[in-house]
Chains A and B, each alone.
Chain A
Amino acid sequence: MVALDPSLFEPDRETGPGPLSHRPTLAFWSDVWRRFRQHIPAMASVVLLAAFALLAALVPLFTTKPWDQADLFATYQLPSLQHWFGTDALGRDIWLSVWFGARVSLSVGLTAALAQMVIGVLIGCFSGLYGGRVDMIIMRFVDIMIAIPFLIWVSLFILVLTPGMGSIIVALALTQWTDIARLTRGEVLKLKQTEFVIASSSLGASHWRLISRHFLPNILPIIIVAVTFQVTNAIFGEAFLSYIGLGIQPPLTSWGKLVSMGISEMRDNPYMLVFPSLAITLTMLALQLIGDGLRDATDPKLRR
């Protein structure tokens, strides 16, 4: 055996305790983003929605005329270079209508869903945290809300509040929070059993602290996934309401309104139905895919 340098066999003085076991510092959300990026349908959907949002924001900004300006010389035009989506019964450009309508549909969808999130999370947290009788009463209330058909609820609200964008948002917000509430309550019940929550509450933590510091950060990923689906439902909800006439009123328009008009013209002028329906369908599909992608990206069991 080759003799090695004798100095190598001297004791090495710097025996330190060594570094932290650095599992690599991956903050939770960057890890989520990394995983989300790999979900191709979800990423494609993000691009699509971003495009829609951009168009909804910019197209109305750069037009020289309002969408509902009638042009009775150009009614029922098929899609052409002049009118990309064609025109309707009053000669209004459908391309413009779609993007003006997008503003309404998307903002109603988003706002209603966010409001549902706030209401649902708060109710779910209280119900889960207090448990016992409080929980039982709230859950029975939720059951009742679910049992009454959406349409009846919403119609009641709209009749009382008079139709319009604001009342749609209010109606949707006040009636469709139940899924989120149930989800939140389930998660809170699980969290209540975890040792870190027991540790904090036995330290004397107030209910508010438990909710804000311990429950919310840990349920956020799940809630966000659920909210994407809520947006889908809200957009559809608004579309449906507008379709049956309880929705938004002129001078506003929405995809639902456009679909409604399209259906009445379906026999003779089917092209009018195509674009608004595509818009709704693609948006809802995109949201679903994003929701799926988020769910996969935040699931702790997948990949670690």
Chain B
Amino acid sequence: MSAQVELHQLRTHFPISRGRVVKAVDGVDLTIERGETFGLVGESGCGKSTLGRTIKGIHKPTAGEVIFHGQNTARLAKSEAHAFARRVQMIFQDPYASLNPRMVVSEIIGEGLEIHRLGTRAERREKVREMMALVGLDPEYQNRFPHEFSGGQRQRIAIARALVVEPEMVVCDEPISALDVSIQGQIVNLLKSLQERIGLTYLFVAHNLSMVKYISNRVGVMYLGRLVEVAPKEELFANPLHPYTQALLSSVPIPDPRLEAARVERTLEGELPSPIETIEGCAFRSRCPFAQESCRTMRQVLTEAAPQHMVMCTLHGTPSEARGGGSGA
């Protein structure tokens, strides 16, 4: 089987005060293939980070399943869970918070090796040096502290830490948002070349659409905890079907004055609804310029609107429950 991860109706909810619940991830079905880079975009509060962290195991699913290589991650025995902690790694957004300020670089990178008892002391030391060179850091600096490095270099350290244990999959949670433009490209290129070299599966969570387009094979768009559109990247960016995706793509300013002047933006009215509310049917209908009656009772399934292009929208075939006397889709 070539599927690396399968998500079935995954829900991750966080209870907050007074019995209310934040439905960060609310019913996601997704399959990520081995060796692919799946880009996940959406705005803040859409749940993309939570989704990544649920796959990694930082959050426990409230409902639904995460099937990693055929195994349900919620039902692993203790030793299997420990092994799983190694097979999926994560790179975080903030290179200043994701490294322990009191540990030197070699300790940070080598921690995974120690935790999983991989190799002898000497072998680990060698592996750490190798890893540093691989991500473009001079191994001479292995006894320095994180604060002595720049943001981009710290991300390289974080990448080295993630890869040193030889994972199968890496969840990249906004790995470049906190970096300068000229450094972002360096890190993305590094991730890409490492993937080719080692053979990794990536879940690349970001809000920079152009970077996501560059690095991904397929791209998914999330809105309020739901996956509303998934397609191969060329298809998604050339032919966005979901009204939210269309609005999102049209809002990106273009670094070219003539094209920017010609850019037609589909504006979204209103505000993002709160993820605490339960919304029936389509979560986007409060802001959608094309909303109809049937959207209120839309079923939350992705339907194939074009080859390999899945959308959750009544305009593109997603069925809605027929209510007594209601209009059919």
A and B touch in the complex (CB under 8 A): yes
Q: Which residues of A contact B (CB under 8 A)?
A: 20-23, 25, 27-28, 194-200, 202-206, 209, 213-214, 217-218
B145 contacts A27, C-beta separation under 8 Å: yes
Assuming the contacts A21-B150, A23-B148, A27-B145, asked whether A214 and B85 have C-beta atoms less than 8 A apart, the reply is no
Q: In the complex, what residues of A have CB within 8 A of residue B116's CB?
A: 204
Count of residues in B whose CB is under 8 Å from the partner chain: 34
Q: In the complex, what residues of B have CB within 8 A of residue A217's CB?
A: 100, 102-103
Interface residue stretch chosen among B91-99, B122-130, B226-234:
B91-99
Q: In the complex, what residues of B have CB within 8 A of residue A213's CB?
A: 100, 103, 107, 111
Q: Report the separation of the CA atoms of residues A195 and B102 in the bound assembly, to the nearest whole angstrom.
A: 14
A209 contacts B100, C-beta separation under 8 Å: no
Look across to chain B and name the residue whose beta carbon is closest to the beta carbon of A191. Answer: B100
Assuming the contacts A198-B58, A204-B86, asked whether A28 and B102 have C-beta atoms less than 8 A apart, the reply is yes
A20 contacts B98, C-beta separation under 8 Å: no
Q: Report the separation of the CA atoms of residues A206 and B97 in the bound assembly, to the nearest whole angstrom.
A: 20
A20 contacts B115, C-beta separation under 8 Å: no
Look across to chain B and name the residue whose beta carbon is closest to the beta carbon of A304. Answer: B147
A196 contacts B97, C-beta separation under 8 Å: yes
Q: Which of B86, B144, B161 contacts A199 (CB 8 A)?
A: B161
Does B149 sit at the interface, judged by CB under 8 A? yes
Does B138 sit at the interface, judged by CB under 8 A? yes
Q: In the complex, what residues of B have CB within 8 A of residue A214's CB?
A: 100
Nearest-CB distance from A209 to chain B (Å)? 7
Q: In the complex, what residues of A have CB within 8 A of residue B57's CB?
A: 202
Q: Report the separation of the CA atoms of residues A194 and B103 in the bound assembly, to the nearest whole angstrom.
A: 15
Q: Which of A21, A25, A202, A218 contacts B58 (CB 8 A)?
A: A202
Q: Report the separation of the CA atoms of residues A203 and B99 in the bound assembly, to the nearest whole angstrom.
A: 13
Look across to chain A and name the residue whose beta carbon is closest to the beta carbon of B107. Answer: A213
Q: In the complex, what residues of B have CB within 8 A of residue A195's CB?
A: 92, 94, 97-98
Q: Give the one of A20, A194, A218 with max B CB within 10 A.
A: A20
Does B31 sit at the interface, judged by CB under 8 A? no
Q: In the complex, what residues of A have CB within 8 A of residue B263's CB?
A: none
Q: In the complex, what residues of B have CB within 8 A of residue A25's CB?
A: 144, 148
Q: In the complex, what residues of B have CB within 8 A of residue A203's CB?
A: 85-86, 89, 111-112, 115, 165
Q: Give the one of A20, A25, A199, A209 with max B CB within 10 A.
A: A199
Does B10 sit at the interface, judged by CB under 8 A? no
Chosen A-B contacts, 26 in total, with CB atoms closer than 8 Å, are A20-B138, A20-B153, A21-B148, A21-B150, A196-B98, A197-B100, A199-B90, A199-B98, A200-B100, A202-B56, A202-B57, A202-B58, A203-B85, A203-B86, A203-B89, A203-B115, A204-B82, A204-B112, A204-B115, A204-B116, A205-B115, A206-B115, A209-B115, A213-B103, A218-B100, A218-B101
Look across to chain A and name the residue whose beta carbon is closest to the beta carbon of B114. Answer: A209
Does B14 sit at the interface, judged by CB under 8 A? no
Does B141 sit at the interface, judged by CB under 8 A? yes
Q: Which of B90, B141, B158 contacts A202 (CB 8 A)?
A: B90
Q: Report the separation of the CA atoms of residues A25 and B150 in the bound assembly, to the nearest whole angstrom.
A: 13
Assuming the contacts A27-B145, A217-B102, asked whether A204 and B85 have C-beta atoms less than 8 A apart, the reply is yes
Nearest-CB distance from A298 to chain B (Å)? 12
Nearest-CB distance from A81 to chain B (Å)? 54
Q: Report the separation of the CA atoms of residues A28 and B144 in the bound assembly, to the nearest whole angstrom.
A: 11
Look across to chain B and name the residue whose beta carbon is closest to the beta carbon of A217. Answer: B102
Assuming the contacts A21-B150, A23-B148, A203-B115, asked whether A196 and B100 have C-beta atoms less than 8 A apart, the reply is yes
